[in-house]
Structure 1
Amino acid sequence: MRRGVVLGLVVVLGLVAAVLLAACQRHPPQPPPTPTASAEPRAPADVVALADVDPTIRTDLRYATAHNFVGRPLDGYREPLCLLTRAAADALRRVQATAVEQGHTLKVYDCYRPQRAVDDIVAWARQPGGPDTGPEFHPRVAKSELFDAGYLGAPTAHSRGSTVDLTLVALPAVTSPPAAPGTPPVACTAAQALRYPDDSVDMGTGFDCFDPLAATAATGVPRAARENRLLLRRLMTEGGFVNYPREWWHYRFTDEPYPGTYFDFPITRTSLRR
């Protein structure tokens, strides 16, 4: 009797095992899903590359290079592209047409700036060390004072997509050769012939010069430089832009379509929707 019970249990267990094996073969266990990186934000449909709107406007997009006050490319500047809202780009195209009639061309240093780049600047300003760019970009203002002095700000209008940093270049334009490797930095307040090579007209200081002389109405710069600043301001004001008085190069489109929005899509062609 006991032997029969044991045999019966063996048979039952064998049948259960067979059923489970068949089920596993029909429905094999699935591996857990692989985590995927979150998609990068993209630009609104009305953000465009300036080169597609007006390829005659020159560019020198410093924040995509190591030649800027941080000493390296900023976070989010993946391609040397000027991205702007369509409204600002069209307005800049009209300014360019007027400038060309008067023997100049616009040259853009910076356009849309992702919020992540602004955060990068804030982190740089709070941390000691790093590349010593002070002798060129802020020779008379300490790095720790740049925000309080109004030379840096967070958030910035650049992140709204309708603000540009730019200058004028006399026509016919001649590209300046880059500085030789190992060339000692020269203060942005020095005479144009001594500063970092730039094919723009003399504006009295270099771009991103955090110094009182960079103020648009500063009187301590040569007369020709003051006249060039006034010419740029007139062209841009007539085109619908307003100047930031501390920086001769900084202009915001007054009818910007996103006055309260700060975007963070990276600067790359893949951010555009067209």
Structure 2
Amino acid sequence: MLKSINILLILVSAFTLQSSSQLPKGFVYVTDYIPDISLELRYFCSDNFIGTHIDGYEAEKCILSLPATLALQKVQAVLKEKNLGIKVFDAYRPQRAVDHFRRWARNLSDTLMKQEYYPTVAKKDLFRLEYIATKSRHSSGSTVDITLINLDTKKELDMGSSYDFFGKISWVAYQDLTKEQLHNRKLLQEAMLQNGFRNYPQEWWHFTLRGEPYRDQYFDFPVR
């Protein structure tokens, strides 16, 4: 039995090394380290604020730097004790995807998803209000957009606003929410901040690893 277990561990390790070798040094596939993490990568599909598949996303693969992945692994372990888990909306983001966002933001006539994602914000103000930028921490490989799910039902917890909703209701400090919504946001914030991440004040779902290894480096390899 012990011999069989050792062989299995060797095979798992070999598979992890082989799959991660497709990436630049220092980056890994998150599911190799957190197999039970839930993925719903919004930029691989059309369910996002632009309403179309985003450049650079060639597969629904979650990629991060190794340190960010190990920190997220700790978060998942803590959450499991509360019968909760992580769902990832976005992780590493190629610079070409950010460029896609920038082109879209400058095309003021394209407001296909305005009512769903930015009903109270003028599209011309998205840069000024820092909802869209020319560079993104995501492209440095240690930033992740997530929410929480119930492990029994696999349903997302109610956070008071949807992912990528541009407006004050998405701000971390926003308080005009139900007790349940405030509680759920607190659970998410505490789990992330206590395990090595810092938040972005305007987006309850957005977290960056403290001491990220590739700060101010913006990668452009595709997600595949």
Q: TM-score range by the shorter chain?
A: 0.7 to 0.9
Cα distance, 1:221 vs structure 2: 1.7
Residue in structure 1 matched with residue 176 of structure 2 by the alignment: 220
Residue in structure 2 matched with residue 129 of structure 1 by the alignment: 109
Residue in structure 2 matched with residue 166 of structure 1 by the alignment: 146
Cα distance, 1:159 vs structure 2: 0.2
- Give the TM-score of the pair, scaled to structure 1: 0.72
Letter of the 2:69 partner, please give it: A
Letter of the 1:222 partner, please give it: T
Residue in structure 1 matched with residue 217 of structure 2 by the alignment: 261
Question: Do the aligned residues in 1 keep the contact of 2:105 with 2:132 (CA within 8 Å)?
Answer: no
Question: Do the aligned residues in 2 keep the contact of 1:71 with 1:131 (CA within 8 Å)?
Answer: no
In the alignment, structure 1 residue 157 sits paired with structure 2 residue 137: yes
Letter of the 2:122 partner, please give it: A
Letter of the 1:44 partner, please give it: P
Question: Do the aligned residues in 1 keep the contact of 2:63 with 2:141 (CA within 8 Å)?
Answer: yes
Letter of the 1:57 partner, please give it: I
Letter of the 1:264 partner, please give it: D
Cα distance, 1:154 vs structure 2: 2.1
2:177 and 2:127 mapped to 1: Cα distance?
Answer: 24
* Structure 1 portions without partners, runs of 5+: 1-41, 175-198, 269-274
Letter of the 1:79 partner, please give it: A
Deviations 1:25-46 (CA, angstroms, capped at 9, x unpaired):
xxxxxxxxxxxxxxxxx84212
Cα distance, 1:255 vs structure 2: 2.0
Residue in structure 2 matched with residue 61 of structure 1 by the alignment: 41
Residue in structure 2 matched with residue 117 of structure 1 by the alignment: 97
3-state SS of paired residue (2:148): strand
3-state SS of paired residue (2:78): helix
Pairing 1:1-274 to 2, within 5 Å after superposition: 43-130=23-110, 132-174=112-154, 199-268=155-224
Q: Which of the two has greater strand per residue?
A: 2
Cα distance, 1:131 vs structure 2: 5.7
3-state SS of paired residue (1:252): strand
Count of residues in Structure 1 that have an aligned counterpart in Structure 2:
203
3-state SS of paired residue (2:223): coil
Cα distance, 1:145 vs structure 2: 1.0
- Give RMSD over aligned pairs: 1.2
2:220 and 2:67 mapped to 1: Cα distance?
Answer: 19
1:51 and 1:173 mapped to 2: Cα distance?
Answer: 20
Deviations 1:171-196 (CA, angstroms, capped at 9, x unpaired):
2133xxxxxxxxxxxxxxxxxxxxxx
Identity of aligned residues (%): 41
Letter of the 1:133 partner, please give it: M
Question: Do the aligned residues in 2 keep the contact of 1:216 with 1:247 (CA within 8 Å)?
Answer: yes
Residue in structure 1 matched with residue 6 of structure 2 by the alignment: none
* Structure 2 portions without partners, runs of 5+: 1-21
3-state SS of paired residue (2:203): coil
Letter of the 1:142 partner, please give it: A
- Give the TM-score of the pair, scaled to structure 2: 0.88
Deviations 1:63-118 (CA, angstroms, capped at 9, x unpaired):
00001001111100010111000110111011100000112001100000000100
